[in-house]
């Protein structure tokens, strides 16, 4: 796909590489706009990034957001999504959208799903109705959603897992990826804008399985490659090791997306290891629990010390609500379970994550990434209440 076109029409453009780490500066070009990388993608599970309006997201300068195929397939459902001519139109968002395949959610259902060569049969968590996802059907659903970037169906293996199980699972995921790619190439976008498809590497915490699986995916030739099945409970160092192994195998001219990760530290360390794209519910979910990420560290806003505190939430991230509202007001809103508390905390945390990625891009561009990352992690981490 696209690799034979000139650079301006290329989906992924590699602009610069860090001389001291594997960090990369790049850009994804989609019909809904360009996405500079490294990038963090706020998660909009059910067609909304929780507690934010689409205008907030635009003002926060989110370049791309996520949608979850499993949730959107169940509600509003493919009939509705088709009626509304896709998710962009449905939710009033004209920038890029990436969707997962729904596999991750289905496999989280545990008792409610049954896997076979064909695909996965599962029970809706909402009404108990039975459904089947196949490598082909998730492509069709993502055609109906109209995401700019779609994912193949894969099995996300739990941690820890036996070698044999992980091996067989990764082989099944690879066969599904082949079928998914075939179906993708046989079908067309429905709404006039281009769609791209990523394969997802699996293989648990076994180096050779990771490598073997990725090589199989590379042979299929996707528009980009995701790394799945990490941050599932393994030690952080093991995760970093797996990422390093994967990015050594992956082609330089394709984007790399680490799914569902993670903390600010995880992002910086993964960027160092050559990752371009991230998504995680952490900034929004933790916001709703009162955990605030700021340029001066992360903390829980419920702490009594913020009761009398008229400092701005964070004057460092360049977002208006974080500048005009005080930590004391935010604490009051969270303590009284006010919806505005969820809104302001979510805005702050997304602002922080996007600020972090923007700063990373500037530092890579100026060849300062390695030193800056070391300093930032030392000073930012030291300021956190809970440095886990």
Is residue 159 close enough to count as binding its own copies by CB under 8 A?
A: no
Residue 59 vs 265, nearer CB to its own copies: 59
CB atoms within 10 A of CB 256: 28
Q: Using the rule CB under 8 A, is 185 a contact of its own copies?
A: no
Catalytic residue list? 100, 279
Burial class (CB in 10 A: 0-12, 13-18, 19+), 211: middle
Our CB check for its own copies shows the closer of 243 and 317 to be: 317
Determine, following the binding rule CB under 8 A, whether residue 92 of this chain makes contact with its own copies: yes
Binding mask 279-318 for its own copies (x = CB under 8 A): ----------------------------xx-x--------
Q: How far is the CB of 43 from its own copies (least distance, A)?
A: 13
Binding mask 314-353 for its own copies (x = CB under 8 A): -------x--xxx-xx--xx-xx-xxx-xx----------
Q: Residues 63-82 vs its own copies: string with x where CB under 8 A?
A: --------x---xx--xx--
Least Å from the CB of residue 16 to its own copies: 37
Report in angstroms how near the CB of residue 356 gets to its own copies at its nearest: 24
191 forms part of the interface with its own copies (CB under 8 A): no
Q: Does 99 bind its own copies (CB under 8 A)?
A: no
Our CB check for its own copies shows the closer of 55 and 186 to be 55
Interface contacts to its own copies, rule CB under 8 A: 46-48, 50-53, 71, 75-76, 79-80, 83-84, 90-92, 307-308, 310, 321, 324-326, 328-329, 332-333, 335-336, 338-340, 342-343
């Amino acid at each position: 796909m696209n690799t034979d076109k000139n650079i301006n029409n290329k989906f992924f453009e590699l602009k610069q590489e860090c001389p001291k780490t594997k960090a990369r500066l790049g850009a994804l070009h989609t019909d809904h706009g360009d996405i500079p990388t490294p990038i963090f993608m706020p998660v909009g599970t059910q067609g909304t990034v929780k507690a934010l309006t689409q205008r907030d997201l635009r003002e926060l300068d989110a370049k791309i957001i996520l949608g979850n195929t499993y949730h959107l397939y169940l509600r509003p459902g493919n009939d509705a999504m088709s009626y509304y001519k896709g998710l962009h139109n449905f939710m009033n968002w004209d920038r890029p959208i990436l969707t997962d395949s729904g596999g991750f959610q289905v496999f989280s259902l545990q008792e409610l799903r049954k896997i076979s060569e064909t695909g996965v049969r599962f029970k809706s968590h909402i009404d108990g109705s039975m459904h089947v996802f196949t490598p082909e059907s998730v492509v069709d659903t993502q055609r109906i959603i109209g995401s700019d970037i779609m994912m193949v169906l894969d099995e996300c293996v739990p941690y820890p897992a036996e070698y044999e199980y992980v091996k067989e699972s990764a082989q099944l995921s690879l066969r599904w990826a082949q079928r998914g790619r075939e179906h993708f190439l046989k079908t067309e976008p429905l709404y006039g804008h281009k769609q791209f498809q990523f394969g997802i590497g699996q293989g648990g915490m076994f180096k050779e399985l990771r490598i073997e699986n990725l090589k199989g995916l590379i042979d299929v030739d996707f528009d980009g490659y995701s790394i799945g099945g990490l941050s599932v409970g393994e030690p952080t160092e093991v995760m970093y090791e797996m990422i390093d192994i994967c990015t050594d195998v992956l082609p330089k001219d394709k984007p790399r997306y680490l799914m569902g990760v993670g903390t600010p530290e995880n992002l910086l360390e993964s960027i160092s290891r050559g990752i371009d794209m991230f998504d995680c519910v952490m900034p929004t979910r933790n916001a709703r629990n009162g955990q605030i990420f700021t340029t001066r560290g992360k903390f829980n806003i419920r702490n009594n010390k913020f009761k009398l505190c008229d400092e701005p939430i964070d004057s460092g991230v360049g977002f208006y609500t974080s500048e005009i509202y005080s930590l004391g007001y935010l604490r009051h809103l969270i303590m009284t379970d006010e919806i505005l508390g969820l809104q302001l905390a979510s805005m702050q945390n997304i602002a922080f994550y996007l600020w972090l990625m923007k700063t990373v891009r500037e530092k890579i561009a100026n060849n300062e990434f390695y030193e800056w990352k070391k300093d930032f992690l030392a000073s930012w981490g030291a300021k956190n209440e809970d440095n886990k």
